[in-house]
């Protein structure tokens, strides 16, 4: 979790949750980190939540069964709501593979923007520096999203970023333009 604690004059904003969802290695963390950097430089109060970081610290005892994934996201959605209610922009990047999970988070947190970070499975596998897809295909990792566990694409996301066709900068700019157009930031 990273927060913007600068003493700069705060830019005008509303609290909201920007939820980046997609397959592992689709680009969620990269886009989330860059979006955080851009909004922070503009003077917004921004908090960054990332699935890998949360799992290594807060929820390290949880696995990847559906029950554990649901519990992980329940905790994260409570945290996101609390931060959102305090007027922060929360940038959350989590695989969050099930539509039902994302709908619950949306209902709980309020101002919620679902951003589908979309990259084809074969592109995600090529980007995988940790070799997780390969291990999953060999059966060494169970419940791996996209291989032995499903990923349910969003039906009507507010935004779709096609990271196999867009640069990180183009994707981040799409999010910023959406936030301005819809009155979340000025």
Per-residue pLDDT of the chain (186 residues; tens, 9 = 90+): 555 444 444 555 678 999 999 999 999 999 999 999 999 999 999 999 987 666 555 555 566 667 777 777 788 888 888 898 898 999 999 999 999 999 999 998 888 999 999 999 999 999 999 999 999 999 998 888 999 999 999 999 999 999 999 999 999 999 999 999 999 998
All structural domains of the chain: 2-120+151-181 (3.40.50.300)
CA separation (Å) from 131 to 74, 75, 125, 146? 28, 28, 8, 14
Which of 83, 79, 3, 75 is CA-nearest to residue 44? 3
CA terminus-to-terminus distance, the chain: 25
Q: Listing from the earlier edge strand, what are the strands of the sheet with 46-50?
A: 2-3, 46-50, 89-93, 16-21, 112-118, 159-162
CA separation (Å) from 20 to 8, 112, 142? 27, 11, 23
Catalytic positions, written as ranges: 96
pTM given for the model: 0.87
């Amino acid at each position: 979790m990273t927060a913007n604690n600068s003493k700069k004059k705060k830019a005008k904003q509303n609290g909201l949750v920007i939820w980046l969802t997609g397959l592992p290695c689709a680009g969620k963390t990269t886009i989330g980190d860059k979006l955080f950097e851009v909004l922070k430089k503009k003077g917004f109060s921004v908090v960054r939540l990332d699935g890998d970081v949360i799992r290594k610290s807060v929820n390290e005892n949880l696995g990847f069964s559906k029950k554990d994934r649901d519990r992980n996201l329940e905790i994260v959605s409570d945290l996101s709501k609390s931060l959102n209610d305090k007027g922060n922009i929360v940038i959350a990047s989590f695989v969050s593979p099930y539509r039902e999970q994302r709908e619950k988070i949306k209902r709980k947190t309020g101002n919620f923007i679902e951003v589908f970070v979309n990259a084809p499975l074969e592109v995600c596998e090529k980007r995988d520096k940790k070799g997780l897809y390969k291990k999953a295909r060999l059966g060494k990792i169970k419940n791996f999203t996209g291989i032995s566990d499903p990923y349910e694409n969003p039906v009507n996301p507010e935004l779709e970023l096609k990271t196999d066709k867009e640069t990180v900068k183009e994707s981040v700019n799409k999010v910023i333009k959406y936030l301005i157009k819809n009155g979340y930031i000025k």
